[in-house]
Chains A and B, each alone.
Chain A
């Protein structure tokens, strides 16, 4: 599903590589934790998958497509197959829960009837039934993240990227968020989650990729956050 073939990324005006010779594959339906200290290249890894950045060297394949050969014109179509969740939720403050989720479908031109059918399903899936009309500022952090996940998942992407989704949320609520991510993973969606949260990584027992200074220092099938911490 995601293939990194000896990828190096050096940002302009920087002498150190953000990613260095990263060579790995993530299969369809896998759940992968991306761990490592700040500045180790986790976000760069995710941005490369979205083609928000181009690698300085190496090749990246996502969903069977060579990103180097993907024209700018086609990039939106790639992104429709990838859902994204962030630490800061990124909801639209002037739209309610339903509208926030529907927005993702409206802007890719889905018909209204389809939106009316699909959006409530996804809102239920993330556990926000009965809260369609709430505005984001009337929701707790955990609930806001659930809305963001519903938005990321509503178009049934093949891949879900989560950049520290529990970073702003207390541990108890984080468990709920992880349950939703697990539920999404079980529908066959590949999930890549960058995180600092050792407790979550340890409890899930999923594949762990550890980055340090842009290099992959560990890739375990059923790993934990790491002995060093």
Chain B
């Protein structure tokens, strides 16, 4: 094997149809970075979901004097509160039920909106209802059972499942993710066609050389290797661009997005590296296999 001969041939091939090569690299780069973005999205949504899944609770808000609910007749009595506490604790689906008094709730409220003091100042302690924060063993399955057990019980104002609030958020994220992946897949198809076309052009441009190579008994491997590597190298260059774009997406977009949430579910560097490596695998495989299949059609023995 004469490696510098092979590399010389690759260089000639890539240079001869430079425009096609550039187009190929750009399309591979964009499709891989979109695919990577989609994967990062998936990871982000997953990590957010697991984070919330462990945190999600049912909030059972109790009546106060200010409650407009007709079910409430003034503030909840200690007996009613005791009754709700026993109902909840006796249910097997409930992991824990913690009473949050008005004072505690107000403290938490002040903490959550600490960066907006003017808003905090408009809310009095008595405006915030006390509540039971109920933790479920299996939030998705058991929500209805637990919620119906306390809904309408004396002294209960309203029952709010945080899952229903999060569902909307998830649907948004899922939709965005699916859109990115669909576009990425379309681009992957475009990339495959472009690889096939580039290799075909390259094979056509060098049909004189390959004809002579066949004639003097060069092995198929030797004839096809420059073309194959041409595709793979273009794929790798595209991947390198995609990797840079992905690092940009992660550090600018996702990390910025992170600042809007008070909880930390950011993606680690390993997640990013994983996605980038996967993109490389996809890119090289895509270009390599397409080149190989194209060559089988255009460089027959």
Contact = CB atoms under 8 A, between A and B. Distances in A.
Instruction: Please say whether chains A and B are actual partners in one complex.
Output: yes
Given A90-B208, A103-B212, A80 B301 contact: no
A106 interface: yes
A92 B208 contact: yes
Nearest to A84: B215
Contact-size category for B: 10 to 19
Interface of B: 1-2, 5, 208-209, 211-220, 222-223, 301
13 contacts: A50-B215, A76-B218, A81-B217, A84-B216, A90-B211, A90-B212, A103-B216, A107-B212, A107-B218, A109-B222, A151-B216, A152-B216, A155-B216
Given A75-B301, A76-B218, A107 B208 contact: no
Contacts of B213: 107
Interface string A56-84: 00000000000000001101111111101
Contacts of A50: 215
Per DSSP, are chain B's interface residues mostly helix, strand or loop, or mixed?
A: helix
A73 B221 CA distance: 10
A84 B213 CA distance: 12
B216 A92 contact: no
Q: Which of B1, B212, B215 has the most CB of A within 10 A?
A: B215
Nearest to B209: A92
Contacts, number: 57
Given A72-B301, A109-B2, A79 B209 contact: no
Contacts of A199: none
A192 interface: no
A79 B215 contact: yes
Contact of B217 (A73, A76, A103): A76
Contacts of B212: 90, 92, 103-104, 107, 151
A108 interface: yes
Contacts of A82: 217
Contact of B222 (A75, A78, A107, A151): A107
Interface residues of A, number: 24
A189 to B, nearest CB: 15
Given A92-B209, A104-B212, A109-B222, A77 B2 contact: no
Contacts of B211: 90
Smallest CB-CB A-B distances: 4 pairs: A80-B217, A79-B217, A107-B218, A104-B216
A109 B2 CA distance: 6
A8 B22 CA distance: 50
Contact of B220 (A76, A92, A106, A112): A76
Given A106-B5, A108-B217, A109-B2, 17 more contacts: A77-B217, A79-B215, A79-B217, A80-B217, A82-B217, A84-B215, A90-B211, A90-B212, A90-B215, A92-B209, A103-B216, A104-B212, A106-B2, A107-B212, A107-B223, A108-B218, A108-B219
Nearest to A115: B2
A80 B1 contact: no
Nearest to A103: B212
Q: Which of A76, A78, A109 has the most CB of B within 10 A?
A: A76
Nearest to A111: B2
A10 to B, nearest CB: 20
Nearest to B208: A92
Nearest to B9: A107
Contacts of B222: 107-109
Q: Which of A77, A79, A80, A84 has the most CB of B within 10 A?
A: A79
A141 B227 CA distance: 32
